Structure 1
């Protein structure tokens, strides 16, 4: 399937499985009359494959070592992209950042790295399923920087277009998206 055909198909899947209208309270506490819940798309076989493919294509030339982000939204994305990157011969390892470090065991904030692995000096992309203001992604950025990683980009599947561009620019971070809310609000 061509990139444009893959993208068009994924728009359909997101519209059917993950987009809705109706009042909702966002993670930020703000109210909205539309929402994206990308978990049904990320966990659908075709949706997962298309998200992984398009995300990998968007990132393959960025010289990345790791892909990850804040739990839960980044977990299926990072895992799927890690798998496809291996299959395409350009491995990008995955990790995720806990919202709160575990209170037992190793008490880690960053999960998925082996004992001998570190983000120190590594080029990292932070991924999100849906981005509103970018605050959640910035928490992951902070954890990666605390671990010594270099965050080169934040990539979201859907930008709600409600402040993230400005917030990431202010933080000195490159920001890209696969889709924007305006693509779904036309109808």
Structure 2
């Protein structure tokens, strides 16, 4: 079993919940993927970091994502990158600005203005949180250059990102996940 298949198996066995659930987008779905169940596990963190690292544009100097879903993902990519000789800083985007100190939205090492950043997420439904992440990165002076995710639910996120000038690359799609369930 290759790394991608191993990760898909972890998503299916640990992160997938079947049944009616309301997503952060407000949509009601017949399934939910809690990627933290995979990315906070050592094997899942490594596989996620490795597979997403392989997708990151060579011009990116950092990976960034909205807290809390992307926190372990940006860390995994950064650590695996370091182990493979590629320095990628990890940036975490707050939902609300810090109430004290610098009151900033983006946490992480200070990078030069114009630094190219890959935006990451765990599961993409409508793309709204990624669009917000892109806006906050731009406001901090960074240049978001791509969007990558573990799972594209194929529910409009790709199209929403295209409207604002970005593509979406994902390790898996809803179709692949559902096919894996049917085969199991």
| TM-score normalised according to structure 1 size | 0.93
Structure 2: gaps spanning 5 or more residues: none
CA displacement at 1:34 relative to structure 2: 0.9
- Structure 2 counterpart of 1:106, from 96, 102, 116: 102
- Structure 2 counterpart of 1:123, from 91, 96, 116: 116
Q: Could you tell me which residue of structure 2 aligns to residue 72 of structure 1? A: 68
Counterpart Cα distance in 2 of 1:164 and 1:120 = 28
- Relative contact order, CA 8 A, sep 6+: which one is greater? 2
RMSD after superposition = 1.2
Instruction: Say if 1:158 and 1:178, in contact at 8 Å, map to a contact too.
Output: yes
CA displacement at 1:119 relative to structure 2: 5.2
Counterpart Cα distance in 1 of 2:6 and 2:74 = 21
CA deviations 1:124-164 (Å, max 9, x no partner) are 11100011010011111000000111111011110100001
Instruction: Say if 1:65 and 1:92, in contact at 8 Å, map to a contact too.
Output: yes
Structure 1: gaps spanning 5 or more residues: none
Counterpart Cα distance in 2 of 1:11 and 1:103 = 39
Counterpart Cα distance in 2 of 1:35 and 1:5 = 24
Other structure's SS at 1:58 match:
coil
Counterpart Cα distance in 2 of 1:183 and 1:20 = 16
Identify if the C-alpha distance between structure 1 residues 74 and 119 changes in structure 2 by more than 3 Å, giving closer, same or farther. Answer: farther
Instruction: Say if 2:16 and 2:34, in contact at 8 Å, map to a contact too.
Output: yes
Counterpart Cα distance in 1 of 2:27 and 2:119 = 23
Instruction: Say if 2:69 and 2:121, in contact at 8 Å, map to a contact too.
Output: yes
- Is 1:44 matched up with 2:37? no
Which segments of structure 1 move beyond 4 Å, counting only runs of 4 or more?
A: none
